[in-house]
Each structure stands twice: as structure tokens, then as C-alpha cells.
Amino acid sequence: MVMEIVRAQELSFRYPGEERASLDGLSFGIKEGEFVVLCGPSGSGKTTLLRHLKRELTPVGEGSGAVFYRGRELSQLSPETAAGEIGMVFQNPEAQIVMETVWQELAFSMENMGLSPSVMRGRLAEMAGLFGLEPLLYKPVHELSGGQKQLVNLASVLLLHPRLLLLDEPTSQLDPVAAREFIYLLRRLNEELAMTVILSEHRLEEALPLADRVLLMENGRLAADGSPREIVRAAGSGLGEGRHAYLPAASRLYLALSSGSADVRPDTIPLTVREGKRWLESAIEEEQSTRLVSATGPASGIDRQATKASGPTRIDADRLDRLGGSSIGNMHEEVGPGENKRIGISSPRSVSGSFARRVQSSRDGEALLECREVTFRYEKDGPEILRKLDFSLHRGELTAILGGNGAGKSTLLQLMAGLLKPQRGRAALPKGVTAGYLAQNPLLYFSYDTVLEELRHMAKYAGLSVSESEREIASLVDAFGLGGVLGSHPHDISGGEQQKAALAMVLLLQPDILLLDEPTKGLDPAAKEHLAELLRALADSGTSVTFVTHDVEFAARHASRCAMLFDGSISAEGPPEAFFGANYFYTTAVNRMVRDRLPQALTVEDVMSQWHEFVSRS
């Protein structure tokens, strides 16, 4: 029998001054060697739970219940056991790094544990080889990319040989390729070292298929506990209403095309792109066979729609309403040709099958800012971060800028915001045009004791009257769902709530150009859809919205224009269908599944609206 490494028993916790409990009677056990994915909405208690599993990081507040590690209560462990056997990697790479160079950072944890120099050198040599860190050992930490910093953090933790590894959204600031590599490295550690991994994550496309178990949290409680396929099956049967957005694209497409889940065996549910593509091919063959029988068989007078409904690929409109990209329902209804009816939040994609954008062309609006031949470097003799870059922002557009970690995306945003000046070229805001900038780290915007104080101070800074201030704050609080945290200290709320609060502060400035650096970082799927709705409304009102992101799915669903920053300049640019359809890694999971037949399909909605054409392309 496999031993439990962690058990939570009636664990409850409330932060000081809060009415709502962050953890509410949690009880569960995790066996040694399991790979567990922890997911749920922002503010559901995921980070608070992880901090309770790492004794040194237990938050201050009112709590009850107990946490056991290998049969012993966590509070009874020796300092060496608690620090060495339970490791944690934070969401923000910067928050965990304390030394100047990579080798100093790697050695720091071992020095604190009192390991001998010979043991330290041996472990350091082994870990540097495993992670490919040899070329970086003597580099200053501040010169590393976000992905490299996160690898250094993980290596620093692993040098203590932990049995339990806790990770709080470690890929939130990594580009898609780096995030995929990081997730698969965690799986390798789990399989080869039998290390228990508990991973809190919003980007579940790669993580969920690798998990042994999924724990879904809502309002501080455990809402679901099971294997990935059991979670998918429950969602499809209606037991998981509102949770479809946490599923991989292959599973969502499977549920959308399935006639029902009563007869579905969990082992047939696809989780990965490979499994999804195989299932689609078999579904197409069955659909084509059904059509052939319906058209040529003796029962040709029977209603063909009724015949199709009995097959596994029937399109159920009620199910489609629930199986879009969010838990708040943004799928198309089945509508007649030329119509564009939608349910809930508007989706930027047409149901006509042409993949035409709902929004105006990026080049149709007035140019608000033009970057011409922009070149920038941070140090006089340092490398050029941007090189002869040309780029423009237009009124009413929603632009996504993508690229690898360290490509210069944040630098470009700061140049366009006027926070940095180029050494050559021009990137100045025209007279009368204002820009609002949201940095990657929302904590930079907080200096008061409550979220409400922060918002009121920003409204005053923006020159709003008292009545205007209260009206605008109320509107933004409602739009971002911040009502429950207005009295909380900004540092005590979740990462997603911090992101939303900081964005609300920037929006109080009512800028002509809104520049956002990783705005979806830390947001759950439903919050992302609310954000997209707000950004779309701003763009429709004439604001130019530009965001840097590693969230390919978000950019594909909502941007009107996408641009790739590479080697200091814009290497590719265009509408999402053309942009992502031409990419190999920087594209959506749905596109990787169906690109042989529908090369411009990016989302589940695209495939559904083109299903009959998809089937006919044999």
C-alpha cells in the first residue's frame, strides 16, 4: 500500500479582517509519488493551501484543522525536514531569487542547510548538468530570461532533494515553448525520482494530461477530486457545469461533438493533441459512414438529422452553449446563414465559416502612435534589445504582441508608454494622446492598506470629481468582481485579484492607448473572458488596446491583430487566423489538431461552425 505523503484534515483559514474564509474545511490525502494538478478560479484558495503545506510560508490569520506530512503533523517536523523535504516554487520568479549570480543562488539553499563544500559541489555539478545551467553559472541573475530564472528557482529547490514539490503557477510568465518544457521537466522528476508534485496552474493544456489527479477548488472548498478523464466525464454529464474552461481543448471538442456522456468510457476521452486528432479522424469516418447510409440506404426517406443525432458526432446546441472557451458561456448558437447571434459574451469569430473578424481591420482606425526605426539598448556597450523596429497602434484595435522570454516585449511596451527613450528612431506619443501602462508585476502599483484606498487615490490622481470617482470605481469593481476584496490589503489577495485591481487603477486614468504586460497572468478562464469583454468594449469605444502575452489561446480568441517580436523587430504580423495558422508551436491546441483540414481554425467554435465542411475534407 502506497503511503500518504500529505493529508489535510478539516483545514480552515481566514485572513485578518476578512469575513470570507480562504480555506473552508478542506480534507484530502495525497499519496507518495502522485502528480496532482490544483486548479480553480482566482481567489479560490489555491495559493493559501500551498502555503499551508510549506510550514515556513504559513500565512498569518485565524485557522483550524491540521496538515500531516508522512504521518506527522507539520508543526512537529524538525526545521531540517520541513525546509529540505518540502520545496516550493513561486509564481513570480523574481520573488524567490536573492543572490547576484546563478551559482551563488544555487548554493544559497545548501549553505543554509549546513552542507559541506564537497557535497555542495557534487550536487551543484549534477543539477547544472541536468538543467543545462553550465553556461549560466557565472552570469548575473538579472540578465536571465523569465524561463531561465524559473529553472534556477526549481534547481535551487531540488538541490535539497525534496520528497514533496509545491509549485504555484510556475509557468505564468513563460512563453509557450518554455512553459511546455518546464511542465514536462516536472513530469520527468515525478516519473524518474518518484517525487510527489502538487502543481497549481491556470494553463492546463499541457499540465492536465500529465496529472494522476486533479483537485478543483472553489470558494475555499474542494469542488472536485478525480483523474483528468473522470473530471472531463463529470463535466460532460452536467455535473461540472461551468468548469469546461479548465479542460484541455481536445476534451472540450470531444464533449462538443459527442451525443452524450452516458455511454462514454473514460479511457476513450482525449486529453492531448495526439489523442484528439486520432479521435477526430475516427469521428469523421463514422460521420461519413452515417451520411453514406442515410443517402443510399433503403431508409433514405428517414430524416437525416435524426439519423445523425444517433451517431457519436451529433452537434448538440445546448451542449455547445456550455463548451466554449469559458465557463460563462460564449459559444455560438446554431443560426441561419449570415446571422451572427451569440450567447453571453461576444466571441470575435463569425459562424459563417469564413473566419472573418467581427472587429474592424487594424489598419482602418486612426494611427495613434507610430514607432519608426526604433533601436534601444539598456547599457551603452550592451546588446541591442530592439533593432530598427517599425510598429504602429491604431484607434479601435486590439493588438497582441507575442515572442519568447527575453525578446524585448516589455521593453517595447515601456517605449510606447514613454517610460523609456530609444537611442535611435522615434516612438513619441502625439500631443494630446495619453497612454496607460500595466506592468507584469501588479504589486508595483500598491502603496495603501486596502484595495478601495488604492482605487480612490488613483481616481483622485486622474482628476475625477468625488461623484465621478465613486461612479467609475463602482463600475470597475463590478466589471472585475472586486467587491469581496475592497477592504483587503492588496498584498493579501490572490495573484489574479491583484492583477484585476491594478488594471482597474490604470483604467481610471481613461487613456487613449492602453498597454498591458501579461494581463491574463494569474487569471482563471472566466476572469479572462470578463477581461476580454472589457477590452473589446474599450476598443469599440475608440481606445487602442495592446497587450503582451504568452497566452496563445487568449490572443487567438480575442485579438484583431497579432505580432511576433523576434531578434529585436517585428518578424510577423497579421490577423489571428493567418498569424497562428502559419505557426508550428505558437498556435492553439485546436489548430494543431485540425490544421490539415482547417488550417485557419483556432478555437473549438471555429471547428464547430465548420464541422460539416471539416467532415467533407477527406
Could you report the per-residue pLDDT of 319-351, keeping only the tens digit for each?
444 444 433 333 333 333 333 332 233 333 333
Whether residues 503 and 559 share a domain: the answer is: yes
Whether residues 13 and 126 share a domain: the answer is: yes
Beta pairing, strands 72-73 & 62-69: antiparallel
Long-range contacts of 354-360 (CB under 8 A, 24+ apart): 355/577, 355/600, 355/601, 355/606, 357/560, 357/575, 357/576, 359/396, 359/397, 359/398, 359/536, 359/539, 359/540, 359/560, 360/396, 360/397, 360/560
Asked if 488 and 17 touch (Cβ cutoff 8 Å), the reply is yes
Could you report the per-residue pLDDT of 278-311, keeping only the tens digit for each?
988 887 777 777 766 666 655 433 343 333 333 3
E strand or H helix that includes residue 102: helix 102-112
Whether residues 349 and 388 share a domain: the answer is: no
pLDDT attached to residue 520? 87
Task: Read off the pLDDT band of 27 (50, 70, 90).
Answer: very high
Whether residues 341 and 465 share a domain: the answer is: no
- Please determine, for residue 198, whether its predicted confidence score (pLDDT) is greater than 90: yes
Grid cell 535611435 is found at 424
Which of 335, 357, 379 represents a domain boundary (last residue)? Answer: 357
Looking at residue 427, which CATH number applies to its domain? 3.40.50.300
Mean of all residue pLDDT scores within the chain: 82
Cα 348 to Cα 486: distance, rounded to the nearest angstrom: 32
Cα 251 to Cα 233: distance, rounded to the nearest angstrom: 9
Grid cell 454529464 is found at 237
Could you report the per-residue pLDDT of 370-384, keeping only the tens digit for each?
999 999 998 888 889
Q: Nine-digit cell at 168?
A: 504555484
Closest listed residue to residue 106, CA positions, set 62, 158, 172: 158
- Please determine, for residue 2, whether its predicted confidence score (pLDDT) is greater than 50: yes
Whether residues 345 and 396 share a domain: the answer is: no
Across 269-275, average pLDDT:
91
Whether residues 331 and 439 share a domain: the answer is: no
Q: Does residue 270 lie within any of the structural domains? A: yes
Whether residues 338 and 374 share a domain: the answer is: no
Cα 498 to Cα 578: distance, rounded to the nearest angstrom: 34
pLDDT attached to residue 201? 87
Cα 145 to Cα 123: distance, rounded to the nearest angstrom: 24
Asked if 138 and 102 touch (Cβ cutoff 8 Å), the reply is yes
Could you report the per-residue pLDDT of 56-113, keeping only the tens digit for each?
999 999 999 999 999 999 999 999 999 999 999 988 788 889 999 999 999 999 999 9
Whether residues 480 and 381 share a domain: the answer is: yes
Across 8-32, average pLDDT:
91
Full residue range of the structural domain in which residue 280 is found: 255-357
Across 461-472, average pLDDT:
91
Across 424-433, average pLDDT:
87
Total count of domains within the chain: 3
Residue 62 forms beta bridges with which residues?
14
Cα 72 to Cα 115: distance, rounded to the nearest angstrom: 25
Which of 207, 226, 245 represents a domain boundary (last residue)? Answer: 226
Which of 318, 338, 357 represents a domain boundary (last residue)? Answer: 357
**What Cα–Cα distance (Å) separates residue 410 from each residue in 405, 413, 425, 538?**
10, 5, 18, 22
Q: Does residue 602 lie within any of the structural domains? A: no
Whether residues 83 and 142 share a domain: the answer is: yes
Cβ partners under 8 Å of residue 297, min gap 6: none
Q: Does residue 85 lie within any of the structural domains? A: yes
Whether residues 382 and 341 share a domain: the answer is: no
> What whole-number percentage of the chain has pLDDT above 90?
47
Across 162-191, average pLDDT:
88
pTM reported for the whole predicted model: 0.78
Q: Does residue 268 lie within any of the structural domains? A: yes
Q: Does residue 238 lie within any of the structural domains? A: no
Cβ partners under 8 Å of residue 298, min gap 6: none
Whether residues 387 and 530 share a domain: the answer is: yes
Q: Does residue 603 lie within any of the structural domains? A: no
Task: Read off the pLDDT band of 404 (50, 70, 90).
Answer: confident
Cα 227 to Cα 37: distance, rounded to the nearest angstrom: 10
Whether residues 282 and 161 share a domain: the answer is: no
Q: Does residue 376 lie within any of the structural domains? A: yes
Q: Does residue 594 lie within any of the structural domains? A: no
